[in-house]
Amino acid sequence: MDAHFGMIGLGTMGRNLVLNIADHGFKVCGYDRSEEQRTRLMEEGKGKPISTASSSAELIRNLKAPRVIMFLVPAGKVVDTVIGELLPDLEKGDILIDGGNSHFVDTDRRYTQLQESGIHFIGMGVSGGEEGARFGPSMMPGGDEDSYQLIANILESIAAKADGEPCVAFVGNGAAGHYVKMVHNGIEYAIMQMISEVYGVLKNEGLSNAELHELFADWNEGELQSFLIEITAEIFRTKDVDTGKDLIDLILDKAKQKGTGLWTSQSALELSVPIPTIDTSVSMRYLSALKEERTQLSEFYVHQNKKTENDTELLKKHCRDALYFGFMMAYGQGLELLETASKNYNYNIHLPTVIKIWRAGCIIRSLLLNDLYDAFVQQPELKNIIGSSVFIPTLKEKRNGLVNLLKVAMDAGVPALTFATTLGYFDAYTQERLSANLIQAQRDFFGAHTYERIDKEGNFHTDWGAKK
């Protein structure tokens, strides 16, 4: 009965987090229904303060009060099942942490239900993948701050560090932790898609995988320095162990997803926040899955994959600038959504805090986050980074690179849909007058929905079909 921390779910993430926690001097007890997973944990944790339990009741008996139990299990009904199994043996003051990618709506419900029982409930986003879990993730806990303070010493010990600061902090009330992680993943979708679109254009223009490796490695030494650029460089030089060929060329062009991108888009629609860069990246995953249909349709069209013979060195510069511009739009859209959700759901999310804990450990970590932090500190009421004095000069400069990349992509017949949407978003957001006046007129014409005018106050209706 002396373990400091309990873990339910000993798959890759759960097991590595247990090892990480134990490395920092905390006694950990792990539980998984699979005996194989329990055995593997004990083998990998040999010599560390780690034990296992064969049931949730035994796990609870092995923990000292107040009991801290984290679970990393599939989102949905499984989480409710785990909580239901634990509750009869828990006591007031015990702490439950859902570290999976639960839908924030479910987390809000669970948080409200458990408040009445006196059990602390924390919904916590965890990012960083297998390596992050083992050596330092970025963590986004929400719920209430008193609950967080009970476990802050453990989480701060195991978190990734940026400039000596742990990449974990209380991010907000209720389901704020899972909401922040959801948006993190939405931004991740967008950045990954834009990188893949640049790859598609450059590959079509004839760059070899070795040249792509060198290019991305070079980009990672400059303003695009980020985890996703770094691993992309490594991917291009990785060989298949069976054939000796470049592994990237043997991978099927179908991208999967687990739902957080979809949830981000759904929530943004409900809150009337435009995030088209993220939305389009989600749609492109769906398009990639239509492999059979794409293969059949490609036989009917001949505009695809034409080499344009553009200046390769200039194209590389355009691609770099387009990525910078696109990354900033993805971050900006995600942060605007967080700010709106925070006000709508009373999450009280502090954007500079979120940006700080994304600087290391998580998948979307990048050098750009330092400038983003400065922007929101300098202008606390900033709605979108497009209006930030930190970014206005750079966005003006980089937009041209995106335009030129799109010209090459269109001439080549290579899809760059996320970049195209991103440019349209930026141009619409920065244009004083849009063509939506025509939409107002159309709605009033067919549905008498009325319209507003620029020359006087009020709502107006016109009998558009009346004879003059």
Catalytically active residues are: 181, 188
Residue pointed to by tokens 């339910």: 8
Strands 95-98 and 165-166: unpaired
Q: List, in order, residues 6 or more apart from 241 with CB less than 8 Å away.
A: none
Q: What are the structure tokens assigned to 6, written together?
A: 């309990």
Helix-strand-coil split of the chain, %, nearest 5: 55, 10, 35
- The 10 Å CB-count burial string (b at 16+, else e) for 409-441 is beebebbbebbbbbbebbeeeeeeeeeeeeeee
Angle at which helices 260-270 and 312-345 cross, to 10°: 60
Q: Helix H segments across 168-311?
A: 176-204, 209-219, 227-236, 260-270, 276-289, 291-298
| Residue of 438, 439, 328, 336 whose CA lies nearest to 381 | 336
- Side chain identity at 162, as an amino acid letter? A
- Ordered DSSP codes for 91-122: -TT-EEEE-S---HHHHHHHHHHHHTTT-EEE
| Residue of 192, 249, 206, 200 whose CA lies nearest to 413 | 200
Report how far apart, in Å, the C-alpha atoms of 430 and of each of 329, 385, 392 are.
13, 12, 11
**Burial class for 374, CB neighbours closer than 10 Å (0-12, 13-18, 19+):** middle
Strands 68-71 and 50-53: unpaired
Phi and psi of 414, rounded to 5°? -105, 125
| Residue of 254, 202, 204 whose CA lies nearest to 232 | 202
Phi and psi of 66, rounded to 5°? -70, 140
Q: What are the structure tokens assigned to 379, written together?
A: 């202008």
